[in-house]
A and B are shown apart, each in its own frame.
Chain A
């Protein structure tokens, strides 16, 4: 749907010539996020510098019924920040200022385009940090983190983005600038901040966020334990949690992943290991010391091959090195992969790993695993070579079967990446019509015109808006009439 000359001129009046990307090659940069499967370039990209410009753009698009796709740094993994039906993309990169740091009240207010790690860097000298730490934190924006309710390795202890957002300034799909929540810990009325976080740009565009800052822990201890069997590692995870220990992070890598990492990064994980556990504890020194010893003992009791403890920051970085470079290292095994983000109850880890191996064998695809074991959030990488006929099809089939297996075990289709275009079709695995219907109507309250990020987060439905109308319960008939 090409945009009219008048529309583009109006858009340029709002954001200025340097804030508008119109050329085909310029727009191509914005055709996908990190899930490069899904491509769709916007018809124009607007780069506003303030909330007033965002309001003007949304109202222009609303009037002309042009779809809007918000985008932060484009590091999402779900086909979220791309334009399947064209329209205007609103990039928040030029809104990247820290508006206020309020240490006595342990919060900061930032613009959406601010890079996640920049906030932590700004407050690190005072002993504070911003807790959500997606692997992309060096490049991903806080607006994007809010939109996808991003997680990260350390959310086992600290929670995901939603647990750290106090307030939002949001331009809704109706073109209204609203301030939701704020610095105080609570306020009367519905928790609009709570539902807006993770709404993936379907409610509107965040133009500022007030987020919590946490005090840096006194001590950190990182332990790497390797095992000859995946089951042993999985059981060690359960035993650590059962011992009442809540590590800051509890990550697992499987055999295939260990091999790729060893070959690719030289992280030096034990060669014979079928599983590696990365355990990080933080908190008061005495607690970290005691729980670290207990966690190490649990690993030994579960047949660990080796338990390494980092003694300083350099050693810590080395233990983490392999984990952080895992996705890149997989490139040595196959040209490309499908990345899954499903969750199972953590007690089901041994069962799902067995199932996963069986699924891989059935569909003749290799699956490498690196995941947040502590909260049961899997990240299987289903490897395929798109030059081999039907390998992608087999990978896709394995992917879907795996999702269904996770749901059957009481899990969920996405733990931290979000739904986007990629998993919208999978939501009916997890939700009944009534549940999806509720979500459709929730969306409509924020975006009555249906212009915000269409096609994302909810499965498309012929009767969109009234989609998935559930059956009503039976009420007694006849008995009393």
Chain B
């Protein structure tokens, strides 16, 4: 019988083992229960540091913070109240009140949630006095952005509540927190935001805080956000935006000696204060829906256009570098470029000369024939057109074309510089010649660039062969600037080839296409551009008014500013782009301009609005 006692011994040991295995499973094998416990028992409260301020290059304050007031609700604590008075104070309707109350209740009866976001300061003052009457409601202060100067919205960007995709990706953020959404605010989010502090509290089962967790030993203090100093000159930026009023396009101004962006203007733009507080959702939807004006689209960084004649500068430089032309070269222009024996010019020329065109004249009068021949020679120097184009493409790309520039802003585009492979794909038989791609010679055809790339090219020419990657932040408090903005990048063109080209660009203002925009006492070098453009409607190609382009830098020696101006449908380069560029240069270098009449004319110009209307008005198919 004694052996029967083993049954209980067996069960006792078995139970002990099962329990220890189960304990191992619960306590050691996974963090699941640890995480659950923390979620249930520990409440984290964040202390948000003040977001960094943003200044322009002359320490003018561009972005500051202001306090906003959210009305919070704890539905459980709400008692009977004078709804009418409350709604009046909050400036909402009774239906809205009921809707919001229901929404808060659905979220939680016991926890606080936002009843009404970002109350206006004046409303807050009135409401605060009466707040004691409304049980279950209280006001929470939040810090939001404030823009003392209402320009440069595209550069500064805005902050808004973090979205769900990002919430999943970045554990730092939580529902309802603010994050830089575009522009500088997005690009330098980590510098601007600082680091929020965390306080841990012990909760009880009623979700009430009963004291600090671990005596606050895990708590952290917030680290204040860093202030930024931009390279932008806000006076110039503001001036440019005013000039661009009622126009579509972009102005980019760079300091060639450093790559600093002096002005980055896109038009149309908007007042950054519209992106603050309760107004934001209304206006951001409105702006995003405006697919014609595209106020949220940065044309300077993202707009891809054919560069037009300014691109001839690059081809001239490549021609000189490849030794297929010299400064003494002359080509015949018979109001256009002809190929072989055909008598019809398939590329027209408006340079006004008939006969031999010299190198300098080709630049200042923008001769298409001259550059078509130059381009052809560059391509035909190699055995196959593909190799020739590859070489050409490499030269062009050394100016920063055809790829992202690495500007410290979150948007940008590559543009397009075709190479041999590109045309091999285009013409599968491989039977293509320089002539097939001849439009590249004058910046049309397959070439596409963004305005900032053009400005950068201008800076590279101004520097006679090198450039610094354009950038928008000059200084971050307590941090070194990224070295990629302080190391010069060299083009594949030797320095000696720049002088004749610059002379040609100088002549543009003296006797060429830019002579009406000349500034007294200032040596400006520039190049106009007029770009054909088409839109497709109902399957037919319709030619629209040309885009007006101008690039320039000044002064000729020791250049201080390089600029690219792009006006959509502005006609000849000399009509809009050239005067705007020269005004900008004048304004930057002298602080004022001598052409108030021209300024006024541009400020008030509404002619282009008519032009833009054509883009949307239906066109009669018979026409």
The yes or no verdict on A and B being binding partners is no
| Chain A residues in the interface with B (C-beta under 8 A) | none
B-to-A contact residues, CB < 8 Å? none
